[in-house]
A = this chain, B = another copy of it.
Amino acid sequence: MTKINDGKTTEAPTMNDVARRAGVSAMTVSRALKEGSHVSSATRERITRAINELGYVLDQSAGSLSSRRTGFVAAIIPSINNSNFSDTARGITDALEGTGLQLLLGYTNYSVEREEELIEAMLRRRPEGIILTGGSHTPKGRRMLEQAGIPVIETWDRPAQPIDKVVGFSNGEAMELLVETLARKGYRRFGYIGGVTARDTRGSQRRAGFVRALERLGLSSDRVISFGVPPISMEQGAQAVVSMLERWPDTQVALCVSDLSAFGALMECQRRGLKVPQDIAIAGFGDYEIAACCHPRMTTVNVDCYGIGRQAALKLTQTIQAQSPGTPEPVTLTGFRVIEREST
C-alpha cells in the first residue's frame, strides 16, 4: 500500500515517540508494557500518559522479531461451521486466555491439500505451537511440521504414528460402543449413514468401528448408505435415510456419522409419518446441541469437543514452558460416552 500523506494520515507513533514524550528511553517503555518488569510507578505513569496521548499501540511483529517469541498458537480445523470443531476452537482460546498467546485459526474444508497450504501459511508466522485435527497429512505437510521445531498436537483422533503429542480418542471405538449399547438394548438390524469419501478420516473410522462391532456380534454390517462429501449436511441425512428405507426396509436402527445427518434423517422420518424410534430408531454422533433439544431427543455419542481443545492448548503451553520436570504425556485420551435418549 502506498501511503499517500494527505495531511491527516500521520505516521503511526512508535515506541521512540512515546519514550521521547515521557522523557525516558525506549527500553523503559518496553519494560513498562511488559508485566513483571521493574519500572518505578512515577515513570510508569508518565509512560502510560504518553501512550494515551499519542494513541500508541505496541507493534508486536517488531517485538516478536526481536524477542523471538511471536505469541501465536496455530490451530487447524476441518470446518469452522461445524459446532463440534468450533467448540474445540473455543476450548483452545479459553485455555490460552491469560497466557499471552493468541490463536491463529485456519480451516481446511476437509482437504489435506488445503491443510498443507495452511500449515505453511501458519508456519510462516512462526507460531510457538500448532494444533491439528486428525492424523492425516500430506507427506510435505508432515515434514514441515516435524522440522518446525515447535510442539505439534494432533487432536480428535488417535494417529497410528503421531508426529508429536496427541489429544484425542478413537472414533472407531466410540462407534463400537454405540453399536454395543444398542445391541444390548435388543436392536439387531443396524444401518449406517455416512459420507462417501475418505476425506473425512474420522467419518471413515466411525464406519470401520460400526463394521467391526457388528462382525463381532455376528450381525450384518451391509446396510451402509454413503451420501456425499463433507461437510456433512442435514439435508444429506434426510436423503440418505430415504435410500436406506428403500433398500433395506427392515432396518431397525440407523446410526449416522454425525448428529447433523441424524437430525436430517429424523426430521425426514417424521415428515413421512414414521414414528421414531418405533418404526425406525436413529442415533447420531457428536452430541451437538440439537441432539439434546430435538423431538424426540436423540441418542448420540458425546466426545467432549470443548475439552479436546482445552487439553490440547494446555498440553501445548506446558510443552512450550518445557523446563518443568514431567514433560507432558505424549498421548492424552479424552473420554466419550453414549448418551441414550428417546430416539432409540
Contacts and interface: CB of A to CB of B under 8 A. Distances in A.
A128 interface: yes
A219 interface: no
Interface string A218-241: 000000000000000111001000
A35 B234 CA distance: 42
Contacts of A121: 102
B234 A61 contact: no
Contacts of A197: none
A294 interface: yes
Contact of A61 (B12, B61, B103, B128): B61
A81 B81 contact: no
A295 B267 contact: yes
Interface string A232-262: 0111001000000000000000000000100
B290 A60 contact: no
Interface stretch (A131-139, A143-151, A170-178, A329-337): A143-151
Interface in A139-185: 143-144, 147-149
Interface string A71-114: 00000000011010011011001000000001111010000000
Of the listed residues A59, A144, A235, the one surrounded by the most CB atoms of chain B closer than 10 A to its CB is A59
Chain A: interface residue count, which band? 35 or more
A125 B60 contact: yes
A179 to B, nearest CB: 26
A60 B124 contact: yes
A42 interface: no
A128 B295 CA distance: 47
A65 B59 CA distance: 9
Contacts of A290: 234, 263, 290
A1 B124 contact: no
A126 B2 CA distance: 16
A323 interface: yes
A153 B36 CA distance: 36
Of the listed residues A149, A264, A321, the one surrounded by the most CB atoms of chain B closer than 10 A to its CB is A149
B81 A90 contact: yes
Given A104-B104, A235-B293, A321-B1, A126 B59 contact: yes
Given A64-B61, A321-B1, A267 B293 contact: yes
Contacts of A23: none
A70 B234 CA distance: 39
B86 A80 contact: yes
Contacts of A64: 61
Interface of A: 1-2, 9, 12, 55, 57-62, 64-65, 68-70, 80-81, 83, 86-87, 89-90, 93, 102-105, 107, 120-121, 123-126, 128, 143-144, 147-149, 233-235, 238, 260, 263-264, 267-268, 270-271, 289-290, 292-295, 320-323
Pairs A-B, 7 closest by C-beta atoms: A234-B293, A60-B124, A55-B147, A267-B295, A270-B295, A80-B86, A57-B123
